[in-house]
Structure 1
Amino acid sequence: MADRRERPAGAALTLLADGVGLLHPDARVLEAMLTGWEQQMLARNLAPTTIRTRTRQVRALVAHANESPWCWTMATADEWFADLRSVKHCSLSTIRGLQVTIRGFCDYLIDPAYEWATVCQERFGVTPVQIINEANAAAHVADYEGQPTRRAFTRSELVMLLEHVDARASTRQGLGVKGWASVFRDSVILKVAYGYGTRRNETRMLDLTDFSANPHAPEFGSYGVLNVRYGKAQRGSPPKRRSVLTVWPWTVDVLRQWVVEVRPLFEHATGPALFPSERGDRVGAGTLDHRLRGYCGELGLDPALSFHSLRRSYVTHLFEDNWDPRFVQEQVGHEHASTTSLYTCVSSDFRVRTLRKVLNNTAAAALALGPDTSTGGDH
């Protein structure tokens, strides 16, 4: 075996004493495996949240199979994924993510550099194997695998939602009901998420200092550019940053009223967060989902509409208003235009207007040419 100083982070014999018997060896070795895998993922620069999620997923398979990882077979994986699909109705993308996790964990166990195969053979008389391969892995054949019910808000639905939340805040304020400022905050959050096309975590992580002036659009004042610092990270990378230009003047009025008049009423307004919560420095992601579901439920809107639907609406409405596709792609931070196109849910009204415009132009061009006299015959 390799010298201890030459072993990588997460190697078995840096976590277990070589040749020393263990009390409850199955449980001790499993915990050492998971600890070593966490160290390996940290060395690969994966985010702590990703590491915690993947560790939890491996534990879920252990619990389902009631077997230790060195006893897993392909049948172990097949039974788990069949149960997730048929009983728990997990989506294809969820299954694929779980398979990526289990494949990565098994790759770690069977890699000779980490010596787990040797340890398991010596202690249990069996070695771990890779249980996810081309035979039982879900094929990735489509660009988009999200639920087909996911869509953007229509313009009328969006107006209905925002007017509903605004009216609730105004009514509560007029009656002196406690909590009206929180409802007002919800309205501003929804408007900012739609007005800048930001994701849920990008929105909740905004700070007051994330806005700056756009010298090419001085009419927006100090709210001409939004600097998103917690964009969706690529694997093994820190959160991706991007700058989003203000495109609609109404967003500036919303932000100024919030920052100047309402935000200071919160107990934690002394912190940097643009959106403090009632009990903490920053509103939580779960709170955003819960509040939006509640408002949509009160209006009887489609349950498939989610916080991410606001981002879809931003992309869709910019396209419908004839903004340049490349500009829209840069605004939402997509590396590829094909990704932006997946967010586009143009309304039937827009399609009808586009069709009518083409038909009218075609008819006008035909009339301008006049009757066809090229044959010279009588018809």
Structure 2
Amino acid sequence: MSQARDFPGAAHLVLADGVVHLDPEPAVFEAMLEGWARQQRTRFLKWDATIKPRLSLVRRFAEFADQYPWQWQPAEVEAFFDHLRVKNPTFTVSAGRNYQNQLRLFCEYITDTRYGWPDTCRARFGQVPVQILHEWNTVTHVSEYEGQPGRRPLTYDEIQALFDAADGRVDEIRSRRRKGALAAMRDSALLKTFYAYGLRRREACGLDMADLRRNPKAPDYGRHGALFVRWGKSANGSPPRRRTVFTVPEMDWVVGVLEHYLAEVRPRFEPGKHPALWVTERRGRLSRRSANEAFETARQAAGLPPELDLHCLRHSNITHLVEFDYPERFVQDQSGHLYASTTAIYTGVSDEYRNRLLQRKLTERNTELWEDGF
């Protein structure tokens, strides 16, 4: 029999010695979940974003299989995913892989002898847990991008249509003498900022007034030379990454947008000493849900495809920076991507840009041939 060590989440740390449970199966299952949660908390994983959804999925699968983890076999997990796909035809490959990875991690935890669960289950139930997910019943990763095909960068005309719709909503509300014009002006400035800086939802909604930065290399932009992003996407167990996003000349129109918002719009919300850049009528910070709703309202008014979402503005910014011929590393740093391959996934350059690039290369080639005397 192997000796379990005092790892966070070990069986003997979450199961009291000498206690006889009237219903041992659910007691051991709950102890497994508590042990796994403890192990993940030790790794500084986030409760709401990571640990809680994982525990929920394991409970969901156990309910579907009507078995406890030491009874699970590959057939149960295969039936589970078949059920998910039949019940929800739009269930995506990426979602399926995410579910499978979470269940695999749980099985790795309960089958690891260092945590003592195999010995515990053998002694109490005469069975031991096994790994039920393997190369033959999991999704094969064959493509870098597995998102919805409809999600893409907006074209320049679509960007303009979206912004015109957001501005038009202000005039419409005013013409009807209804409440909401102030919020509509804020939403218009918000969407333009999302695009101009290629921000994620949490990054934009988490901005404070103190995050407006000057760029000594672009003094004409004043306090809007850059944004200091403090709520960037974090890796497992790490705090949010920080970065500075510069205002680029091709999008310096956002300077006037932000100046108008700060001078004419935000003060009318009477935020007092609230630090948030984007505030609500109730003098609080704008939520990510409200940012989504702002985009959806403008998208519908502009008649754009429903599969486009707020995150597509980030795709658009990255794509357009590439089309503006900014170096790959600059675009990567602006976006806050650790790897250039991630930036490449977000990029969907237009045919017009590719034609310009091809024409430029052909011109350079012809010039070289002429200089060489051919």
SS in 2 for 1:226: strand
Partner of 1:82: 82
Q: Who is 2:234 aligned against?
A: 233
Query: Of the candidates 330, 343, 346, which is equivalent to residue 343 of structure 1?
Result: 346
- Asked which structure has the greater RCO (Cα within 8 Å, sep 6+), the reply is 2
Displacement, 1:363? 6.7
- Secondary structure of the residue that 1:240 maps to in structure 2? coil
Higher mean C-alpha displacement, 68-77 vs 111-120: 111-120
What does residue range 60-71 of structure 1 map to in structure 2 within 5 Å?
60-71=60-71
Q: TM-score, normalised by structure 2?
A: 0.90
User: Aligned equivalents of 1:240 and 1:252: distance in 2?
Assistant: 25
Within the alignment, does 1:136 sit opposite 2:150 as a pair? Answer: no
Residues 131 and 189 from structure 1, CA distance in 2 versus in 1: closer, same or farther, beyond 3 angstroms?
same
Unaligned runs of 5+ in 1: 373-379
Q: What aligned pairs does 1:155-304 form with structure 2 within 5 A after superposition?
A: 155-173=156-174, 175-247=176-248, 248-266=251-269, 268=271, 270-279=273-282, 281-304=284-307
Cα shift readout 1:300-349 (whole Å, capped 9, x = no counterpart): 21122111111111111112222222211111122222221222211222
Q: What's the counterpart of residue 332 of structure 2?
A: 329
Larger radius of gyration: 1
**May I ask how many residue pairs the two structures share in their alignment?**
370
Structure 1 residues 261-284: Cα deviation after superposition (integer angstroms, max 9, x where no partner): 212333655322211234473222
CA contact (8 A) 1:225 1:244 kept: yes
Contact 2:163 2:298 survives alignment (8 Å): no
Structure 1 distance, partners of 2:270, 2:127, is: 59
In 2: Cα distance, 1:96 partner to 1:78 partner: 13
- SS of alignment partner, residue 242 of structure 2: strand
Q: CA deviation at 1:3?
A: 9.7
What letter corresponds to residue 201 of structure 2 in structure 1? R
What is the Cα deviation at residue 95 of structure 1?
A: 1.1
Provide the C-alpha distance between the structure 1 equivalents of 2:184 and 2:115, rounded to a whole number of angstroms. 53
Letter in 1 for 2:284: D
Whether the 8 Å CA contact 1:263–1:269 is kept in 2: the answer is no
Q: Which residue of 2 aligns with 1:44?
A: 43
Per the alignment, residue 309 of structure 1 pairs with: 312
Distance in 2 of aligned mates of 1:152 and 1:196? 14
**Between 19-28 and 130-139, the greater mean CA deviation after superposition:** 19-28
Cα 1:318/1:269, change in 2 over 3 Å: farther
Distance 1:32 1:211, change over 3 A: same
Structure 1 residues 269 and 129, CA, compared in 2 at 3 Å: closer, same or farther?
A: farther
**SS, match of residue 307 in structure 1:** coil
CA distance in structure 1 between the partners assigned to 2:27 and 2:180 by the alignment: 50
SS in 2 for 1:50: helix
Q: Which moved more, 1:39-48 or 1:24-33?
A: 24-33
